[in-house]
Structures are given as C-alpha cells and as structure tokens.
Amino acid sequence: MNPPVPALIVRRILRDPIYAVVAPVMMLLLVVLGCLLWVLELPSRRKRGWRLTWTCAAAVLLDWSVFVRCTWLWCVMPPWRRNQQEWQARHVVVLGQELHRFVQAADRLVGLDLRVRVPAVDPDRPVLLLARHAGTGDSLLMVYVITHTLVRIPRVVLKRALLWDPAMDLCLRRLHAYFLGEGMTAQVRDERLRAFAEHVEVNDATLLFPEGRNWSPGRHASDLAEAIEKGETERAAWLERNPRVLSPRSTGVRRILQARPDSQVLVAGHQGVEDLRSVPDIWRALPLRRQIHIDVRQADSLPDEHIDAWLQDEWERLDDWTDALDGD
C-alpha cells in the first residue's frame, strides 16, 4: 500500500522546495559514484556499474529539468494572463525535449539505440494510440513518441502514487493526465475514466495499453492455463497462437471511441525491451547490443461492432511483427 499523496498546497509549499535542492545533490552523488565505479571497472569492457549509475543520474536530471522548466513556465505564464492552448503546447515541448535528451544520453551510456517509425497523422483529429505492454520503461518510450515525434498532448491514466514525483505532478497534471487512487470503488473508477474519455481534445494523443499489464512469459502461461481451466477454448487457442502478447481488452478502446468517434487509431509495437523486467535483467544486458524498434502504424478500419475481434486481429499482427524481428 502506497502512502497517501499530500494535498496540493503541501506539495507546493513543502515538497517542491525540498526536491529542488535534494535532486541536484542526488545527481552529484551519482556522478561521483559513477566516476569511482569507472575506475574500479577499468579491467572490464562492459563497465556495468558505471553505465547504470550514470544512467540513473541522467534520469534524475530528466526529472529535475522537467520540474524546473515547468515551474518557470508558471512564473512567465501566471494564471491571470495565460492562454490555455499555448500553456499546454509549451509543456509538451518541455516534456518532448527533455525525454529526447534522456534518450540521447541513454544511447551513449547503455546503447539505447531507438528506431522509431511513425505514420503521418491528421492534425485536425485526436489520436488514440494502442500499444503493446512489455518490459521496463515502455510507457516512457510511448510518451516519448507522443511528445517528441507526434508532438501531441499525452493523455494517460496513471496511479495516484505517481503524484509523489514533482515532475509528473507539475507536468502531466497540467496536461490533464488522470491519476487514479487505490481503494476506489468500481463505480467511481468508471466515472473517472468516462470523464477522462469525454475530455479528449483535437491535439491529444490518448495512450492505452489494452493488455492491461506487462507481458512476460510467466503471465502468458498463467493466462493460458486460466483460459484452459475455465473452458475458454477460443481464448486459449488465441493465446497459443500468439505467445508474445496477452489478450487485449476492449473496454477502454470503446469508451474513447464513443466519446471521440473521429479519433485516428494507431497501433504501436515495440521490440527490444521485453526481456528487461527487473534490475538483474537490466544488469545482465548492459551494455545493450541491440536496436530497440518502435513501429507505429495506422490501424485497419474499425468496425461499428465486433471491436473485440478487431482488437484481437490487431494484436495478432503485433505478435507476428515481434516474432519476425526476434527471428532476425
């Protein structure tokens, strides 16, 4: 159970000033530790400790930079003379630029070689981005695609505990992300999600992970065993045919499309981080000697009905695409 998030005024008056000072100190300590590890790891070619420590320092710098720039935006654009569209656009630029800097740093430090392919989209229609969910950091990579490549406002649903992070609190809350708390009743949760869907605007890109949780071989095997035990033969057969994805759920997709039927639907597959599920996994893989592929494509035409079958077809294509890359 996560500790309750303090009230907004407490976060602004107490937490934010403390974070503004503590984060640079943490960065400095990580850089010094990284230098020491570099010396200690001179005999090693992989230098895992140095790479991981400096990547952590880069992550702290990312978070702190977003926090500082968002704070500065409030100073130069106070509420009484603020254009809402420009206000949000500037936050998208901040987030996109800082994520791009982090990706560049991670490429140099750990070999995060991103290869992103995104189609042209209609600027006058909102985007619904449906993504495969697998591996550490894939949510961050999708937000990077939305803010840096598509240059859209990321509309995401997150756990309320993430408001403890000052950068997420300032930036994503201003971009109307939804933070759902624990212990919420199904009715309240459904009302919040319905409100989230109804407030999607033209410049937004709503990010959904229809699988609902991170794929792993163990979870796939567990879902398959559950389907067999319950006698769900069609679902079991589908899972057997598609070992690299979990069965997608259509609830969130339906809700967004009902609220914004003009949405252009994109499907995003990624390959290269699905085996990085824990710190030991990341440690063993450093430095990454692989390309991380992110392929975003226009979805096939949506049927008025049978969205479940349509979504399963799209996820079968993701499984085939991932399988083809794994075979290279």
- Tokens encoding 141: 């990579």
Q: Is 262 exposed, middle or buried (0-12, 13-18, 19+ CB in 10 A)?
A: exposed
Q: Over the stretch 268-287, which tens digit does the pLDDT of each residue have?
A: 999 888 888 888 888 998 88
Q: Over the stretch 17-74, which tens digit does the pLDDT of each residue have?
A: 999 999 999 999 999 999 999 999 888 888 999 999 999 999 999 999 999 999 999 9
Phi, psi of 158, rounded to the nearest 5 degrees = -130, 165
What's the confidence (pLDDT) of residue 252? 85
Nearest C-alpha neighbor of 146 from the set 94, 88, 206: 206
Specify the CATH architecture of the domain 8-326.
3-Layer(aba) Sandwich (3.40)
Question: What single-letter DSSP state applies at residue 163?
Answer: G
Secondary structure class of 270 (helix, strand, coil)? strand
Q: Has residue 159 got a pLDDT over 90?
A: no
Q: Which residues of 230-241 are buried (b: 16+ CB within 10 A; e: fewer)?
A: eeeeebbebbee
CB contact at 8 A, 179 and 163:
yes
CB contact at 8 A, 52 and 286:
yes
Rounded CA separation 267/153 (Å): 17
Domain ranges of the chain: 8-326
- Tokens encoding 12: 């602004």
Rounded CA separation 315/248 (Å): 7
pTM of the model: 0.91
- Tokens encoding 204: 């937004």
What's the confidence (pLDDT) of residue 324? 84
Question: What single-letter DSSP state applies at residue 134?
Answer: B
What's the confidence (pLDDT) of residue 304? 65
Q: Over the stretch 207-264, which tens digit does the pLDDT of each residue have?
A: 999 998 889 889 999 999 999 999 889 999 999 999 999 999 888 888 888 888 889 9
From residue 192, alpha-carbon distances to 36, 147, 184, 262, 307 in Å are 48, 24, 10, 21, 22
Q: How confident is the model at residue 1 (pLDDT cuts 50, 70, 90)?
A: low
- Tokens encoding 213: 């949780």
Helix (H) or strand (E) holding 171: helix 166-174
